[in-house]
Every structure is written in structure tokens, then in C-alpha cells.
Amino acid sequence: MFKRIAFSVNGKAFNIEVDIRESLLELLRNHLGYTGAKKGCGVGECGACSVLIDGVPTDSCIYLAVWADGKEITTIEGVASKSGELSAVQKAYVEEGAVQCGFCTPGLVLTTTALAESGKEFTREELKRELSGHLCRCTGYQSILKAAEKSLEGHICTCVDSPHYKGK
Amino acid sequence: MAYTVVGKSVNKVDAIAKVTGKAKYTDDFHERDMLVGKILHSPHAHAIIKSIDVSLARALPGVEAVLTYKDLPRINYATSLPGYVDDGTETECEAECESDRIKFSTAGHPYSLDPGHRDVEDRHILTKKARFVGDDIAAVVATDELIAEKALQLIKVEYEVLEALTSTDAALKEGAPLIHEEHEGNILASGGFAIGDVEEAFKESDYVFEGEYETSIVQHCHMENQTSYAYIDSDGRIVIVTSTQIPQIVRRVVAQSLGLPWGRVRVIKPFVGGGFGNKQDVCIEPLNAAMTIAVGGRPVKIELSREESMVDTRTRHAFKFKIKTGINQDGKLIGIHISAVSNTGAYASHGHSIAGSAGGKFRYLYPTKALKYDPITVYTNLPVAGAMRGYGCPQIFYAFESHLEDIAKRLNMDPIEIRRKNLVEVGYVDPVSKNKITSCGIRECIDKGKALIKWDEKKASYKEQRGNKLRGLGMACFSYASGTYPVALELAGARIVLNQDGSVQLQIGATDTGQGSDTVFGQMVAEVLGLPMEMVHVISTQDTDISPFDTGCYASRQTYVSGMAVEKAALEVKGKILEFAARMTDIPVDKLELVEQRIIYKHSGESVLTLEQVAMQSYYDRVHAKPITSDSSNNARINAIPFGVTFTEVEVDIKTGKIEVLEIYNVHDSGTIVNPLMAEGQVHGGVSMGIGYALSEQLTFDAVTGKAQNNNLLDYKLPTIMDTPDIGVAFVETYEPTGPFGVKSLGEPPTITPAPAIRNAVLDATGVAFNRLPMNPQRVFEGFKKVGLI
């Protein structure tokens, strides 16, 4: 059975019929070619398939494609600017050595992006909790945490009592 | 030694592709009308197939082929390619004969011309006898995944269930059923080595101590599961795109498994989402090739699920050790006897090599007058064990470094001093391999680690601890190797092409599976040719039709062994550039040097030509044009031994059995560090894997049925970011004279010693020795209860 849905991916509008049994991950990867979202488990354990749905990090493997009706989806392909310039989060991941095999990277970059855009302030422990839905076997999470901290630095809060305050 | 690019934390060459989603992994490629291959796994740990009926599955619309052992090639089958079509009919022989089907080995070792040195060929692509829960019984090719799944359910198999041998004890019991008829007593292989007379050494020793230690079965958990797709191209060759560490070996093993000439197979490795040794095994590609043959060469994909990947590929061998050690009053080790039982599961895969490697790499750390190593490798009805980061060393060093700690405690010696008394020195020649230690920074590593963790201060302050939360310190040392020499061939290849603009392409046969070898090789070329990194284009895909020959990514070999080939290729290109410049200018070649993309006079530094001018002439000079390239191969008949140590501080909650790692430092002597940021990343990942090995990870099985109980990422306790402490990293940069730019290996070693260091810290904190991994809360709680702490 198919159902027609309208949604956008990285600002591009789609209005298509989708198999009601399919996950958003399958729709993105197999039909639309957004292969940046990775399948590491297919059951919501590892976070490799994360995309932003209306700005919220979500495991696309356990999110039905039909639920995307009316939603704005951001995938890793939509994080850099149209002219190809990396976002601050992407730069931080590159510079801090947070990328090894790269399979968990798209999901982590997207979750970090959502945190950076949330405007909230996080302690280190809170930040770890926010990122804990993503499994990584290469990095021991050390450089990922550094990259996330760097991404959030001076980016989320300019209030004077914030540890991120840089005298702006 | 001063280098310009080597030693710098340049950005990983593929990092931008990976943060933008542009990096293509195997599953990111799509072929039109790609079919889906699925595997029927055995529900029994040990059973013979009495009958198998695939007629209903074959009749299901959308099913293109169903394969069982009956459909697989017989020996000398090669000539029927590519016209083989499975029409469903069976000849009399096809119905019954398994014995004339080809048997092969999946281990990712280089081929050996010596038949006695080859891996044990003990498996078929699909089996008539199930040897573990998950064994490959049949396979379906269908137009989509759901039809394929449905077809699997329609295959009717009648099994004669045999006793499941779910432990090495059960498998070794007299009268136990044989898992492989050819292997009496279920022993795959045995045999280690002996240096000196260990019994004599015990007689000479002031004390003799004994201990028993046991490790668990764990899994690699690379984030990308095994996945591949295969088709037959217009030349009738099988093309396989696969997530592998060893494309050249996949090519050979697929050909062997199907009885094909090796040149009829082409293997392409795109980006790989981690391997850690599991992809140093040829798990799914032979079946994938058989599937495409069965459907006339149309593309077929196999994508394992996480649940399949965790039991149907490879695991880490569990070991049981018995150690007996003779030592003198002053702490000098006199004789060591290590017996080991290694559990290889249902098939040989890497087989006895893991047990062999454990002893071989341990041998360097504490040279003693007498050392005897007696390992046996045993078949059981459990998933197949294979290569995993450290290759036997996390097991043996957990055992010995725990044992040595126990001895230090009994002799009331400082654990650091007892090790110092026995550590190897530069110049030592291993009596078995004849490898010579040509650099050794282990003592400096210990000094550094001890200072980082503030050993003396903390030791003093923890003397009088009370209460339910106790802190302790522990450490453990290791030695490893850089490649497999002299056990196996160490061949590597590199090819460089100088472009018109003075930039170069670098092609290597070595594979980057995330660890960063492409970047390190790029740095080496940039160093030799005086180029900035952006002028070195590293081709990160390996294709057996195109890439130079290299045996692949394993044994912590690439920076050292493949690095030699890269350096050689770069030096050759440099030589050719200078010769070309000499011809262009009539200046003798020995007066010229290449720096910063210019040809200069050696004596004055005065510019003569730009590199671009030479490059352009090499392409377009009407008389002398000859593009500058190199194609080098290097057979490394040498090995370099890296060393290191883990220091850790833990807090143990007596009431709950929970161990918290408060601080952990790994200090490595890996020779020159080519890229410090990436090197730290290797250590972080390795230590994290080691902490999981120590505290939480274990694949568990039902003792009766042999069925895995936690083959998923929820129940298998892979460390999350919440479970991982800050990991401290330091290096002692010795210069290894045999390595390119002074390097030794680094990739695998960080995983080796976190477990024994944590175990020793728990002993220090609580006085309780945990001689079995993992030290999860349940086991620790039970341990405390046993000794009356709770």
C-alpha cells in the first residue's frame, strides 16, 4: 500500500507516494539517494541513521516514512552551505580528529548541530547524555566530545554567567 | 629527526568527505534491479541436515534462486561460468554428495606456497552439517528483502540434532562427538614453542607460583555491518564490491571457494565503516559470488543485520590459561610455563594463528632463561572466532600481567619494580623469530605513565582506606609487533604519478578502514617530495584490477610495512624528477635537490626550475617526454616491536560491584608518531575497546542450546559515551631504524593492557583478584560475597 506525503529534505520539497511499510531511512537512502544517513542496526540502537526532523535528532530507521508528511528533514548532505563551506560543527569534527571510519559521523554531526542551534547551555555531563544515543567503536568518544564542546563554545550562550561567555 | 609533514597533525584526508556525507560505503552504491540475497541460518548448534526442501521457496513469485549445499560447485567446476543457471533439477550426485564440494578457509592470511603453512580448509559455502547456531544452511535471492525473508521461512529443513558442545571443556571431554570428522578430540591444532628447559628453571628458582586466568568471547561491533554486492561483468568476471580490510585476499578466497581462476574475480573496496579484524576474514563474499552466478550474473546484494553480524561473522577467541612461574627473591623471572586453551568455535578461520601470535608477541617483553608455551585451539559449537584487534594479545597479557601482579603482591614487591627487573633491552634477539629489538622505550613509557597518574602520591594516600568505595591503582605492560614477519609474507605496494601541475596521485594496496593510513601515507609522500598535503591526492579505494598488490589491513602492519613501499615509491619519483631536471638544465644530478616544489642547487639553495616546469616537460617535451611515475613493491623481511603501558586508577563500589575507571593513561613507544592527533585517536579507540573488554562486554550463550543471548547493541554492553572516562594518551618517541621515518606499529596495541591494568587496580583497591573477564558488576559482586566483603 502506498500513501502520498509532502515533506522537504534539506529545503527541497517532495510530494511522493511512499510504501507505508518503509522507514524514513529506507526512503532517504534507497529512493531519494541521501545515503549519508547510515544503517548500523536498523532498530534504533546505534544512532548512525539519525536525521533532524523539524530540527529534532531522530533515528530514521524506526521512524516510518509516512510520518514525515509535513515535516522538514535535514540530512548530513544539508549541513554544509550550498557553496560547500563546512558548518562550524563539521569544521570542529574535522579539526579535532573526531572522524575515523566515519560511519557514526553523520548522525553525530547532526545531533551536535541540533544542540548548537538549540541555544541551550550544557554541562559536560549533559552534553555526554545528549550524545549518548550514538555508538562509536573507533574514537572512544574522546575527540567527538571535544568537537562537540568546540561546536558549542561561544555559539550558544552569551550570558555573562555562562562558561561559554567570551566577553561579547 | 626533523621532518616537515611527518609528525604534524594534518587533517585526515577523508574527513571532509565523511562529515558531509559524500564518502560512499559499499551499501551506498546502487545497481539497477539489484537483487537481495538472504541467508538461512541454522537454529541448532550441532545438527546434520537429513533433508532440505526448497520447492515452496523456489515457487514464491519474486524468488530468483534458492541455494543449498547441493547447488554449490563441485571441485573443478570452473568451466561452467558464466552460463550456470539454477534450474532447480538435481542429479543423483547433487542430491547427496557433500564430500566433493570445495572446502576452503576464510582466514585473511596471505597465500602460502608451502601447503603445510596454509590455513585449515574446513568449510563449505553452505553446509550440510550445522556446527553453530547461525551456520549458513541455505540462501535465497529475490527481488526484494521482504520476499527474500518470506522465502527463507518456506524452506523446510529436517535436522538430526547432535549434542551441542558449548565449551572447550565439553569439546575436549572423552567421547565427545566430533565437530569436524578430520579433527580428533575436536582439537584444531596445538603447539607453541619452548626456550630453554622450564622444569630446570623452576628448580633453580627461589619461588614457583601458579595461576589460572580466563577471558571471554567478545565482538568487534564495527558500526558498518558486513555488506557486499556482486555481479558478473561483460567479460564474464565476477565483480564484488565489499566492506573488507583485505581485497586481494577476498579475491583469492572467492576464487578458491568456487574453483575459479583467481583472475576471474575482481574485488573493490570503497570506504569501510570499521573492521577491527572482523573484516580480515572472507565471510559473505563467496556466497555473494555464488548468488550472482545462480542468477546469470545479475547484481545481488548481501547486507547482514546487526544480529547476524554479531554471531555469523567472527568473534574474539576466549582463552583459558594456566601459568606457572619461577622467580627469584630479587624479582628476577627465571622460568615461565604458559598453557592455553583457545576456543575457535565452529570453524578454523584464523585458527591456531591467534594462539600462536599471543605467545609470539608476548615473548619479547620479559626475556627469561626458560619460556614454554603450550597452546591448543579447540573447536566448539559456538560462533566462529577470528582476528580481532590485538590478535591473541589482549588475552595473554591479561593473564600474564595479572599473574605477575599476584606474584608481586605475594613477594611484597612494588609492581613497577618487578616489571623493571625483567623488561627487555635494545639489542635483544628473540631466539625463536631471530627478530632483534632495535628500539625500546618501555622504561620511559613506565616513567611517564607513573608520573601522569601520580602513582606514588596516590599509593600513599590510599593506604588506610575504609568504607564502601575503595580506590586503587594498577598498571600493565605489553609488547606487540609491526606486521607478521617471519610468520607470513609482508608484501606491500605503492604507485605514484606526477601530474602536470606538480601534484601527485598516490595509490596504495593497503586499506584504510577508518584508522587513517591513507593520511599517513600521504604525509610520507609529502615529506619525501617536499609537497604540501593538498598536492598529494591519495586514492582511497582499492580495486584488485587497479591497485598495487598489498595483503591488506591487519597485524598493525600498514604504517610500518606499507609505509616502506610508499617511501620507496616516493624516493623513486624524487630521483626521476631530479634526473629529468638534470637533463633539462645540464646540471649534474648530484648538485640538485627538490624542496618546496622547486629544483634548487644543493650548495646555494638557488632555484633552478619549478617542479611544475619539470612535470610539464615530462609530459609534453617532443623528444624526452616520459611521465614520471613509480610502481614499487616491498617485501619486508623484518619486524619492529612496539611497547607500551596502561596506568589506571579505579574506584570500586563494594555494595554494587561497580567499577569506575577514574583515570586511565596509555603510554606508547610506537617509534616516530607520524600524525599525533590521529595517533591519539587510535589510542582512544583501542583503550575504549579495552575498557569494554575489562568491564562490560561479553557475548553470552545458552549452555545447552548454544544460542547467543545478546547479539544486539542493546544487550551487548558496548561502551557508550556515558561509560567512557577521559582517556589520557602519551608517546615516547623512539626512532626505529628499520621503519620508514622511524615508525613502529600503533593500531592494535592500545587494546591490549587496559583490562589487566584495571584488574590490578581492583586488586589494589579491594585485595580481591578477578581472574576472569569481564569484571561486570554481577561477577564482581559475587566475588566480594565469596570473600566476605559483602
Reduced 3-state DSSP string for B639-673: CCCCEEEEEEEEEEECCCCEEEEEEEEEEEECECC
Residue B690's alpha-carbon distances to B212, B221, B373, B694, B774, in angstroms, are 20, 13, 24, 6, 10
Is B306 close to A46, i.e. CB distance below 8 A?
Answer: yes
- Write down the pLDDT at residue B81: 47
CATH code of B28-161, in short, is 3.90.1170.50
Phi and psi torsions of B143, nearest 5°: -75, -25
* ipTM reported for the complex, 2 dp: 0.96
Cell of B734: 623512539
Nearest to B553 by CA among B544, B562, B545: B562
CATH superfamily for domain A88-152? [2Fe-2S]-binding domain (1.10.150.120)
The residue ranges of every structural domain in chain A are 2-78, 88-152
**Using one digit for the tens of pLDDT, what is the confidence trace for B93-112?**
444 556 678 999 999 999 99
Residues of chain A with pLDDT under 50: 155-168
Is B19 close to A109, i.e. CB distance below 8 A?
Answer: yes
Is A35 close to B21, i.e. CB distance below 8 A?
Answer: yes
Mutate to test the interface with B, among A103, A111, A145 (most CBs of B within 10 A): A103
- Judged by a CB distance cut-off of 8 A, whether residue A111 touches chain B is no
CATH code of A2-78, in short, is 3.10.20.30
Could you say which of B22, B680, B718 has the minimum Cβ distance to residue A97? Answer: B680
d(CA B65, CA B54): 10
- Write down the pLDDT at residue B530: 97
User: Which residues on B lie below 8 Å from A32 (Cβ)?
Assistant: none
- Write down the pLDDT at residue B569: 98
Radius of gyration over every alpha carbon of chain B, rounded to an integer in angstroms? 28
For B393-503, list the strands marked E by DSSP: 469-479, 491-498
User: Which residues on A lie below 8 Å from B9 (Cβ)?
Assistant: 97
- Secondary structure (3-state) at A158: coil
Q: Which CATH number fits domain B315-484+639-786: 3.40.50.1820, 3.30.365.10, 1.10.3720.10, 3.90.1200.10?
A: 3.30.365.10
User: Which residues on B lie below 8 Å from A111 (Cβ)?
Assistant: none
User: Which residues on A lie below 8 Å from B18 (Cβ)?
Assistant: 99, 102, 105
- Residues of chain B within CATH 3.90.1170.50 domain(s) are 28-161
Residues of chain B with pLDDT under 50: 76-95
- Write down the pLDDT at residue B73: 74
Shortest CA gap A122–chain B (Å): 15
The one-character DSSP state at B123 is B
**Using one digit for the tens of pLDDT, what is the confidence trace for B500-553?**
999 999 999 999 999 999 999 999 999 999 999 999 999 999 999 999 999 999
User: Which residues on A lie below 8 Å from B20 (Cβ)?
Assistant: 36, 76-77, 79-80, 86, 90
Radius of gyration over every alpha carbon of chain A, rounded to an integer in angstroms? 16
Architecture of domain B15-23+491-635: 2-Layer Sandwich (3.30)
- Residues of chain B within CATH 3.30.365.10 domain(s) are 15-23+491-635, 315-484+639-786
How many CB atoms neighbour CB B543 within 10 A? 17
User: Which residues on B lie below 8 Å from A21 (Cβ)?
Assistant: 146
Could you say which of B24, B225, B689 has the minimum Cβ distance to residue A35? Answer: B24
- Secondary structure (3-state) at B255: helix
Nearest chain A residue (CA) to B34: A30
- Write down the pLDDT at residue B99: 66
